[in-house]
Amino acid sequence: MLISIGLWGCTLGQTKQSSVDNGSSQTGDYIENKGSDTMVNLALAWVERYQEENPEIRISVTGGGSGTGITALKNNTVDIANASRQITVEEQADLAKQGVEAVEFIVARDAIAVIVNVNNPIEQLTLEEVSRIYTGKLNNWSELGGENRPIVRTSRETNSGTHVFFLEKVIRLGDSEDKTIFSADTLLLPSSEGIIAEVRDNPNAIGYDGLGYITKDVKVIALAASPGEPYIIPSVASVMDGSYPIARDLYMYTRGQPQGEVRKYLDWVFTAEAQKIVSDLGFVPVTRADE
């Protein structure tokens, strides 16, 4: 996969500028930013702070899912695509056909928390058990030591980067040859908030969400990568030390090397001020150690 990667600590003004004329609006004072629902609250907080300091710049932030953002990038209707998964080989190939290279910036990190209703006595699961739940091999909480209740599976919709990440890393347990999919009766919900609400209100439900969206209204399950390994609760600390088994990077993509106001904005995203907002919202900041 041909991707240029922007790392924390790199000054964008020092990067080699792309010779591709991508036709974007990057040199104007308006920035269009679209994509990952996981990143919406973070992106909005960034924009609010940035525009306080740069009132002459207008930045629009919308969600719709990582796939929506990357499609908009391919269609050249956004300056920045937010994604909670990495761009695929196929998506990169579509851009290459236009003579454009996707430039990737890792702007924060996140953990996927598996959640259940607060009244569910289950406290911990292995990734294999979670996979068996979501593939329909386990259908009653009593099979896992819980109450005699049917398991109600909830998930983000298929255009969500979180959905794709969970499918690949949890349901398929990282096996790229595995073609297993979600059980057909999985309830697909359009937002992170929707999953929280369903799990909060349904004593039989299980769901998953980005760490920054978890509230006290749901119970977070401790996960073990495999039987016999320690059960770990998702947190900033367990993501940073690598002990939590389903952590991920959060990305921003541009068509070619960013220029003008887009470059200035992305440069600011990697400052201490912007990365503090990452921490304040429950995500994991990127540090120089990640280079």
Domains and CATH numbers, the chain: 4-109+249-290 (3.40.190.10), 110-240 (3.40.190.10)
Cβ(183)–Cβ(134) below 8 Å: yes
The separation between the first and the last C-alpha atoms of the chain, rounded to the nearest angstrom, is 19
- Measured CA to CA, the distance from residue 24 to residue 35 in angstroms comes to 17
How high is the pLDDT of residue 26?
47
Q: Which of 164, 151, 130 is nearest to 251 (CA)?
A: 164
How long a stretch of residues is the chain? 291
Provide the 10 A C-beta neighbour count for residue 20: 13
Per-residue pLDDT 10s for the chain (291 aa) are 434 444 333 333 322 233 233 344 444 589 999 999 999 999 999 999 999 999 999 999 999 999 999 999 999 999 999 999 999 999 999 999 999 999 999 999 999 999 999 999 999 999 999 999 999 999 999 999 999 999 999 999 998 999 999 999 999 999 999 999 999 999 999 999 999 999 999 999 999 999 989 999 999 999 999 999 999 999 999 999 999 999 999 999 999 999 999 999 999 999 999 999 999 999 999 964 454
